Amino acid sequence: MNQSWLQNFGRVRMLFWIRHSTAQKLLARAGSKFRGRVSVQAETCTESRLLIGSSLENDATSDVEGAGADMLLHEPKDFHPEATKTTQFALVQIDPREKPVENIDYFEYVIRTLFILKSRPLHEAISILGPGASQDLIPKITDAALLERAPLEMSVEDFATVTQVFAMWPFKPDVLHDFYDDDMAPS
């Protein structure tokens, strides 16, 4: 967290009403089919939990921390514009963590890139980090079990391990962000 805007004067607890499907993706833990880059970012930078949600059949509330059988239900009229019966909402509490992640640019690049091959084992997916990554980085990851886990199954600590190895790699890509420069645009 770079402590800009709302967090400029300290950590501010936030409450958001969001679509239930978004809450599933945001709060998904390692091993969940809903796990993605956003859930890793949220888990890394915040302590987030579901406060109010709905119990939908075949949903992933068991994958969502804080979800329970006694969750409060909301009514469509509770929202403006009024929610439809097929649109479900959840109230999520988000508390920023005090300590930011180390090597945030590298961390972001690693999770963004590895989730392209989210269901492939790390020893296969790591090659997407850059040319020669599998030959150079795999020997530096000492946890053999980590190499067998897919990004969907990886914890924040697992991503931190890969990021640490990636940060020390002398052949990592120079450009880690997708960006568009107005000066480069054709006129």
Query: What global pTM score does this model have?
Result: 0.77
92 pLDDT above the threshold of 60 = yes
> Is the pLDDT confidence value at 148 over 50?
yes
Q: How confident is the model at residue 151 (pLDDT cuts 50, 70, 90)?
A: very high
Domains and CATH numbers, the chain: 5-96 (3.40.50.150), 104-168 (1.10.8.100)
Q: How far apart are CA 9 and CA 23, in angstroms?
A: 27
CA 155 to chain centre: 10
Distance set, CA 43 to CA 27, 38, 40, 48, 181 (Å): 8, 9, 5, 7, 31
pLDDT of residue 4 exceeding 50, the answer is yes
Is residue 6 within 8 A of residue 34, CB to CB? The reply is no
* pLDDT band, residue 161 (cuts 50/70/90): very high
Indicate if the pLDDT at residue 125 is higher than 60: yes
3-state secondary structure of 66: coil
d(CA 1, CA 95): 12
Phi, psi of 65 (to 5 degrees): -65, 135
Mean pLDDT across the stretch 148-176? 94
